[in-house]
Structure 1
Amino acid sequence: MTFISVIITLLMIGAVAYLLTNKYNPQAVLLSSGVLMMVIALLLGMQLPTLKSSTGLPFFDLFAMIKEVLADKGAKVGLMIMTIGGFVAYMRHIGASDALVFVCTKPLKYMRKTPYFAASCVIPIGQFLFMCTPSATGLGLLLMASIYPVLVQLGISRISAVSVITACTVFDMGPASANTAQASYQIGMDAVQYFLHHQLPLTIPLTIILMLLYFFVNRYYDQKDNLTKEVVENESKEFTVDAPLYYAFLPVMPLVLLMIFSKTFKFFEPPITLDTTTAMLICTATGMVLEGVRKRNLKDTMGSMKIFWEGMGKVFASVVTLIVCAQIFSKGLISLGFIDNLVTGSQNMGLGFEGVSILMTIMIFLASMLMGSGNASFFSFGPLVPTIAAQLGGNKVGMILSMQLASSMGRATSPIAGVIIATAELAGISSFDLAKRNLIPLVVGLISMFALKTVF
């Protein structure tokens, strides 16, 4: 029975990877494959994951499980992610995101004598922007409009300029990130605490390593392929911002509030704490007030609230539903004994918890490359972490952190990822060439992450 379940599990994972690679709807693929695995588990006489309230009939329980997951995720992590989506949409609507990018990237224009160093400096700047604007494709397009022409004018190639822009999205982190929300939820930790105590200590040295890697890799290939000082039509177009520059603070405001009013710093007695959802609502209201004062049009200002609700709806349709369907997929894997077989197999091979953690991290990195989506791969396998950690007695925080970062790193090496396709198309280069340029720095970065985890 174990052999049969292992074969079926591997076939299902392979089928899911194939379908997602060929651009089938990820929600439909994950949901249907998860339900199918649970049906097969029932036919094999295996047990389904426990329901809070069983219907009394296994067939009905399959749909009751979907209802329970939707109610749980939608009311908790789902609501948080939706308010983040609404906030990001509203910031984009009023021009605050453009103002932040303009302010942060302006100093790079003064680094004309060190073009490859200037390009490497885009990475930490962009990573900060990514925490405030947690959309890989959205940020990529913003940076293509603002900093890409500057980098090309400094004398580096188009592919090198785009490579550092996409590198800004390789660490999906910060309280406003959907992956952070999912990871912190799975390990039962506050998102701000997870960000400050676990993400930052690991990603700061990793960012420095990536800056060095991109500096040498881009300079080497530009010289090798004679790509320096390319003349590109329309690259001198100036990036303009319609919103006041003080709007640049608005996208950063949730991050500031969450750190000031967090359990970590304890600035106030008695303690005052904010959760991510509340912070996003406060900052959206602040943006609306500023827009009302600036435009002095009450009807338009109040009407702009529609942008926030639409942003929430879009994120529900794309991200929250993906989390729900991925949770069903993971329950299907559990039903077929995936975790038990993984634990038994790793023990037979002499792998401890760290070995399994590395194996899962590499698997997610490769899955992101195949799927072109960091969310799809992480949401699919992230929910397995607490159970694996409980069975092997390891540190679930370290495991889920490496898996989470690997998912966004793998996305930047995928020629079918949205951010890679969009930025490559604007620059007039091949998405496959761009993915290959990112491959060396990010594979070395992945190895460096394993080494740094032993320190942090």
Structure 2
Amino acid sequence: MSITAWIALVVVVAVVWALIKRWETRMVLIASGLFLCIISWDFLSGLNSMANSMVNKSLVQAICASMGFAFAAKYTRCDSSLVHYLASPIRGLGIFLLPVCTVITFFVNIAIPSAAGCAAAVGSTLIPVMLRAGIKPAAAAAAVLGGTIGSYLSPGTSHNPYVANMAGMDVMTFIGTHATYSVMIGVISAVGILIVCFFMGDHKGDKNATVDESKLKKEDADFVPNPIAALVPLVPITLLLVGNLWVEEIKMGVAPAMTIGAICALAVARVNPQTFTKEFFNGMGKGYADVMGIIIAAGVFAAGLKSAGLIDSFVTALKESNEIARWGGSIGPYLMGIITGSGDAATLAFNETVTPHAKDFGMTIEGLGGLAFLAGAAGRTASPIAGVTILVSGIAMVSPIEVVKRTVLPMTISVILCAILMV
């Protein structure tokens, strides 16, 4: 390798260290990428990558519209209505509340693609239900956490339009390529958490178990569930599925489907349209700042690695054995997800730099890209420092370490099976 490639390798280690220390992800990636471009005498490469990512039509539309809809569903309490009606029939199931709550969270997370947003909506309702049923707090929190893998079946999740665009296919078509494996992880999560919790005696209850009332939704006292509002979060997903699978006349993109869903939320909830509009666009802005921001930063970092020559060296090594790519694209993002609490940065960097070359070592872009982001999500679900883990642990008033003790084994099994089956 060249001198710049060796320097790039040191920079990668420094980036991992910075992410472990919880430094601002976008700052770390952009600064590292521009530094590598400078020492490679290719400064404009990083800036051009940033500029191109800023106006990526398919990504901006899907991500910003989905976050706008998520904010609209939260403001109108449509998400709370959906959780209420899903949770009502399950009381009295004992320890079997655990897999049922995981499945409910998985299902809701498809409609509400934000893991933290979904966990807040579901956890504030289901965790108290599980505690009253005699389930220990750590198990209750783990059941909700284990279901947050469901977002990867949502067309609004950043990785779906990102890899689909790279593979040159429609978002829904790409989701179809990994849907079986996403559902498989959901099943392993539900069954695995149940088995682990059973052997840990979590069904024997905890007399001192309680929830942190300050973390529950303050407006719950005034909340009146609406069965029609409960259907609103399902509108965009339904439109996309029906349009892509059965009715060609209503086939549409992610952004139009999410906008229609938001309009339905406004019509059903009959809230102040001015405030509603502000919330929708606040969500769109949040989506650009938080989600697109990481994608843009990962692109700059990838440009730096390319300019330094590290990517060419890495791809050459991968061509000699697809086993390196198989396990590098699964175990790598998985471990980074656990260590950093976020699977996004590592997954996006991998998919930006390595996945475009998938065909060179006998794989498909959609297969390797899907494997990387599912592994990253599994790592986040097994991480004690992930935002969603801290959130559900806070509601259940238990240590995050105790929660991930119940999710790490199912997630590890899931990643190994995906690595074997997906590519």
Q: Measured at CA, do residues 379 and 181 of structure 1 come closer, stay the same or move farther in structure 2, by a change above 3 Å?
A: same
Distance 1:243 1:20, change over 3 A: same
Task: Spell out, residue by residue over 1:92-143, the C-alpha distance to the aligned partner (whole angstroms, 9 max, x if none).
Answer: 00000101111112222141xxx22221122222111001111111111222
After alignment, is 378-387 or 308-317 more displaced?
A: 378-387
CA contact (8 A) 2:211 2:396 kept: no
The answer to whether the 8 Å contact 2:112/2:151 transfers is no
Partner Cα separation in structure 2 for residue 357 and residue 41 of structure 1: 30
Give 2:87's aligned residue: 105
Q: Report the more deviating stretch, 429-438 or 363-372.
A: 429-438
2:319 and 2:360 in contact (8 A); partners too: no
Partners of 1:149 and 1:235 within 8 A in 2: no
| Paired AA for residue 141 in structure 2 | V
Which residue matches 1:425? 394
Secondary structure, aligned partner of 1:320: helix
Task: Tell me which structure has the larger Cα radius of gyration.
Answer: 1
The answer to whether the Cα contact below 8 Å between 1:378 and 1:404 also exists between their aligned partners in 2 is yes
- TM-score (structure 2 length as normaliser): 0.92
Match of 1:52 in 2: none
Amino acid corresponding to residue 172 of structure 2 in structure 1:
V
CA–CA separation in structure 1 for the residues paired with 2:157 and 2:49: 26
Is 2:102–2:147's contact at 8 Å kept on the other side of the alignment? yes
Residue in 2 aligned with 1:284? 262
Q: Which of 286, 294, 305 is equivalent to 1:322?
A: 294
The 3 A distance-change label for structure 1 pair 227 and 276 is same
What RMSD, in angstroms, separates the aligned Cα atoms of the two structures?
Answer: 2.3
Asked if structure 1 preserves the Cα contact closer than 8 Å seen for 2:84 and 2:225, the reply is: no
Matches within 5 A, 1:193-272: 193-195=173-175, 197-222=176-201, 228-233=205-210, 241-262=223-244, 265-268=245-248, 271-272=249-250
5 Å matches for 1:27-426?
A: 27-42=26-41, 58-60=42-44, 62-71=46-55, 73=56, 75-111=57-93, 115-173=94-152, 174-195=154-175, 197-222=176-201, 228-233=205-210, 241-262=223-244, 265-268=245-248, 271-292=249-270, 300-347=272-319, 351-352=321-322, 354-426=323-395
Give the conservation status (yes or no) of the 8 Å contact 1:156–1:230: no
Q: Which moved more, 1:228-237 or 1:121-130?
A: 228-237
In structure 2, C-alpha distance between the alignment counterparts of 1:154 and 1:165, rounded to whole Å: 15
Write out per-residue CA displacement over residues 164-196 of structure 1, whole angstroms, 9 at most, x where no aligned residue.
11001134412121222222222222111122x
Compared CA separation, residues 103 and 388, structure 1 to 2 (3 A): same
Residues in 1 aligned to 2:409 and 2:46: alpha-carbon distance in whole angstroms: 43
Q: Which amino acid aligns with 2:378?
A: M
Q: Percent identical across equivalent pairs?
A: 23
* Contact kept? 2:358, 2:365, Cα under 8 Å: yes
Matched residue type, 2:122: L
Q: Secondary structure at the match of 1:168?
A: helix
How far does residue 347 in structure 1 lie from its aligned partner after superposition? 4.8
Q: Is the 8 A contact 1:339 1:388 kept in 2?
A: no
Structure 1: segments with no counterpart, 5+ residues: 43-57
Partner Cα separation in structure 2 for residue 267 and residue 61 of structure 1: 43
Q: In structure 1, what is the Cα distance between the partners aligned to 2:77 and 2:123?
A: 16
Q: Deviations over 1:239-268 (max 9, x none)?
A: 664352210111110000001111xx2434
Shift of 1:60: 4.6
**In structure 1, what is the Cα distance between the partners aligned to 2:211 and 2:156?**
34
Aligned residues: 417
Deviation at 1:451, TM superposition (A): 3.6
Q: Which amino acid in 2 is paired with 1:341? A: S
1:63 and 1:378, CA in 2 relative to 1: closer, same or farther beyond 3 A?
same
Residues in 2 aligned to 1:65 and 1:276: alpha-carbon distance in whole angstroms: 24
